[in-house]
Amino acid sequence: TRVLSMEKFHIGYLKNALQPGEMVIEVQVPQPKQGSGGGFGKFERTAADLPIVNACVRMALAKNGSVDDVAIAVGAATAAGVPVRATAAEQIVAGKRMDAALVSEAAKAAGTIACVADFRASAKLRGLWVNCAVEDAMNKALAHARTGA
């Protein structure tokens, strides 16, 4: 039995670190902090299609309303072929009280992640969609964190 982080499990586009004979038997997800919320945003051609861009955000707010903990990840669009943490966006919001301007600033920072180009979308267009997906996911996470829903 071995334990891998998600960063080490995903090694390439549709590739993982499982060795022959191995299988995933458990995924451990930590209990969210009090005042946490999550959001997901994506773009695809049709609901049955693989996403062109997706983003997820987990955010915890302190009692004073500032961001206590945040994780922002982008997938499907990345040149790396694996989900990538948007650390620049995380650093922008860490410790700050969220408002629309800060959400927009962080989303723009996430839009600088290197994106892949293929027949469905150029890298430049995917970068713009990353910005939109992160902004959407951040707004959803923030709403959930504020309401506890």
Q: How far is residue 107 from each of residues 23, 29, 97, 99, measured CA to CA in Å? A: 35, 25, 15, 12
- Alpha-carbon distance 135 to 93, whole Å? 12
pLDDT value of position 124: 94
Specify the pTM.
Answer: 0.89
Residue 85 pLDDT level (bands cut at 50, 70, 90): very high
Of 4-13, 15-24, 40-49, 93-102, least confident by mean pLDDT is: 40-49
pLDDT at 111 over 90: no
Distance of CA 51 to the CA centre of its chain: 13
pLDDT value of position 149: 64
Q: What is the pLDDT of residues 26-50, one digit of tens each?
A: 999 888 888 999 999 998 887 777 8
